[in-house]
């Protein structure tokens, strides 16, 4: 029973027969079916024609489309070469497109898919190189034929992949000159080191091993494994450096990163400038998150805002919008300029916290009645008594020099006396102020009581003084020889009852005399 070829096979065979006739007519020397000499292109060997219905038992080694001659085989269109198959010792070269396209001398396994033109030929100059199309493209270097194998140019114009495994996908005037380097496309890009990649853009150069430029224009990576994501005129110049984008940004030490912005520099090792303009992170692990004209020049320093200068190790500097420098010049110091005030809240609804008002030099606690509850009246005198029992000493913190002295109670004593605050190892300023104010109230209460007693004593003393004055007048009258009745009358006329001055005869005069003498000796009134 006859075996019929599938329709697909019949189409291939028909195309092959057409190719056979065209090639035979062009070469006119050999039979493409059998490889034997032919008397005429119109008279193939009888009995050896391909059959559309007979496929069984054909020996593929003896029946083929092609040539046994060691010379190129061409397929022409309108008399011009469209496809050329060039023999080699191992893998033939396949050259399509413009007739001037070529595989260099000694090249094996080269392929040009098409394209090319006058003075813009596509060419494969090293083994197993490929040019897919386009014009003026080259896969491989110039010498020798096996020095840059497996290079590929997908298409485009005047692109070159000139090292082992290098690839240019397309675009124009791009060069992949490093081993396994890649330029995806764009214009005028260069990947010149091993495993370097330029995805696209214009005028980008990845010139170090494993460097990557995603796009943009005029960017350069000269540090191994460095990356520029895009932007304009950016530079990643050290190992593992990164510039994400922006313009004229530099990452210049190992693991340094510039996120974007313009004119930023990440100079120190592991330093970061996230963005903004004209910011510098010069110290190791230094950080500038953004803003403008900020500099973190020392290790572990941080500068943000505007014109913040972190000049010493561990400095943290925040600058507000003021167009003036604010600097930290001591290690591990926090400096902030906030000309509108500093507000710190410790509750999600902003009901509690503290703030430094604009221009102020002291903190204010949020202390409205509206944010408080469970009120209990403080007994001032009790607070005063308890406070009197707490030792108050001067001391220094262990973390400071012993010459820096402070005064106050110990937190444990304060907590034991009043039970205030969140911890027995800390004294809240609001509690310290509250205790002091309650103690002042206690003192005021005591002072009022004392004042009342003093006033009563003063009134009593005034009465005694008046009485004494009257006694002095009477004694003076007696000394002047006035009768006792007259002296008594004088005392009565002064507002003091005369009876209070009658002591009875000579004994009274003796008592008065002793009183007056005592006053004179004590320097009192005469």
* Average of per-residue pLDDT across 492-514: 48
30-39, 115-124, 402-411, 421-430 — which is least confidently predicted? Answer: 30-39
Residues 260/249, Cβ–Cβ less than 8 Å: yes
174-183, 233-242, 488-497 — which is least confidently predicted? Answer: 488-497
Q: How far apart are CA 303 and CA 299, in angstroms?
A: 12
134-143, 328-337, 344-353, 507-516 — which is least confidently predicted? Answer: 507-516
Q: How far apart are CA 25 and CA 18, in angstroms?
A: 11
Residues 436/418, Cβ–Cβ less than 8 Å: no
What percent of the chain shows pLDDT beyond 90? 70
Q: Which residues contact 152 (CB under 8 A, 6 or more apart)?
A: 129, 130, 131, 132, 139, 161, 166, 167, 168
* pLDDT of 165 strictly over 90: yes
Q: How far apart are CA 341 and CA 358, in angstroms?
A: 4
The predicted pLDDT at position 11 comes to 35
* pLDDT of 518 strictly over 90: no
The predicted pLDDT at position 9 comes to 34
Q: What pLDDT digit, counting tens, does each position of 285-297 carry?
A: 999 999 999 999 9
Between residues 373 and 20, which one has the greater pLDDT? Answer: 373
The predicted pLDDT at position 486 comes to 61
CA atoms within 13 A on the CB side of 209: 2
Strands 272-273 and 287-288, how do they pair?
A: parallel
Q: Which structure tokens are listed for 153?
A: 């140019």
Residues 337/323, Cβ–Cβ less than 8 Å: no
Q: How far apart are CA 185 and CA 205, in angstroms?
A: 13
The predicted pLDDT at position 146 comes to 85
């Amino acid at each position: 029973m006859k075996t019929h070829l599938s329709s697909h096979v019949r189409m291939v065979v028909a195309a092959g027969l057409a190719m056979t006739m065209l090639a035979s007519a062009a070469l006119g020397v050999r039979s493409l079916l059998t490889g034997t000499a032919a008397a005429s292109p119109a008279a193939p060997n009888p009995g050896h024609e391909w059959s559309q219905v007979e496929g069984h038992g054909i020996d593929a080694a003896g029946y083929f489309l092609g040539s046994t001659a060691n010379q190129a085989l061409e397929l022409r269109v309108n008399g011009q070469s469209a496809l050329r198959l060039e023999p080699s010792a191992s893998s033939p070269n396949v050259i399509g497109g413009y007739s001037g396209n070529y595989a260099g001398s000694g090249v094996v396994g080269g392929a040009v898919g098409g394209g090319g033109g006058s003075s813009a030929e596509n060419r494969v100059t090293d083994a197993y190189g490929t040019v897919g199309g386009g014009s003026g493209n080259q896969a491989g270097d110039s010498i020798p034929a096996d020095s840059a194998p497996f290079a590929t140019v997908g298409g485009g114009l005047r692109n070159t992949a000139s090292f082992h495994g290098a690839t240019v996908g397309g675009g124009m005037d791009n060069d992949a000159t490093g081993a396994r380097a890649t330029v995806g496309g764009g214009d005028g890009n260069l990947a010149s080191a091993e495993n370097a990649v330029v995805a696209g853009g214009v005028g980008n150069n990845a010139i170090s091993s494993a460097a990557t430029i995603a796009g943009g224009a005029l960017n350069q990576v000269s540090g191994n494994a460095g990356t520029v994501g895009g932007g304009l005129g950016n530079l990643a110049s050290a190992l593992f450096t990164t510039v994400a984008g922006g313009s004229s940004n530099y990452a210049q030490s190992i693991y340094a990163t510039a996120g974007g912005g313009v004119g930023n520099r990440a100079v120190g090792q592991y330093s970061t400038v996230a963005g903004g303009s004209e910011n510098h992170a010069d110290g190791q692990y230094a950080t500038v998150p953004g803003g403008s004209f900020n500099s973190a020049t020392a290790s572990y320093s941080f500068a943000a805002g505007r014109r913040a200068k972190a000049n010493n190790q561990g400095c943290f500097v925040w600058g507000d919008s003021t167009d003036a420098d604010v600097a930290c010049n001591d290690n591990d110091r926090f400096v902030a300029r906030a000309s509108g005030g500093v507000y710190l809240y410790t509750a999600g609804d902003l009901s509690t916290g503290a703030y430094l008002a604009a221009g102020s030099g002291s903190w204010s606690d949020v202390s409205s009645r509206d944010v408080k509850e469970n009120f209990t009246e403080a007994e001032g005198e009790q607070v005063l008594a308890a406070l009197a029992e707490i030792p108050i000493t001067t001391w220094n913190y262990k973390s400071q020099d012993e010459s820096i002295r402070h005064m106050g109670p110990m937190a444990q004593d304060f907590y034991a006396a009043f039970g205030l605050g969140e911890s027995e190892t800390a004294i809240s300023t609001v509690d310290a102020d509250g205790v002091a104010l309650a103690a002042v109230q206690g003192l005021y209460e005591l002072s009022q009581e004392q004042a009342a007693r003093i006033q009563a004593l003063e009134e009593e003393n005034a009465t005694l003084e008046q009485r004494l004055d009257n006694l002095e007048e009477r004694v003076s009258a007696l000394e002047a020889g006035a009768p006792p009745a007259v002296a008594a009358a004088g005392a009565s006329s002064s507002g003091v009852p005369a009876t209070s001055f009658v002591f009875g005869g000579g004994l009274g005069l003796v008592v008065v005399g002793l009183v007056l003498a005592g006053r004179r000796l004590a320097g009192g009134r005469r």
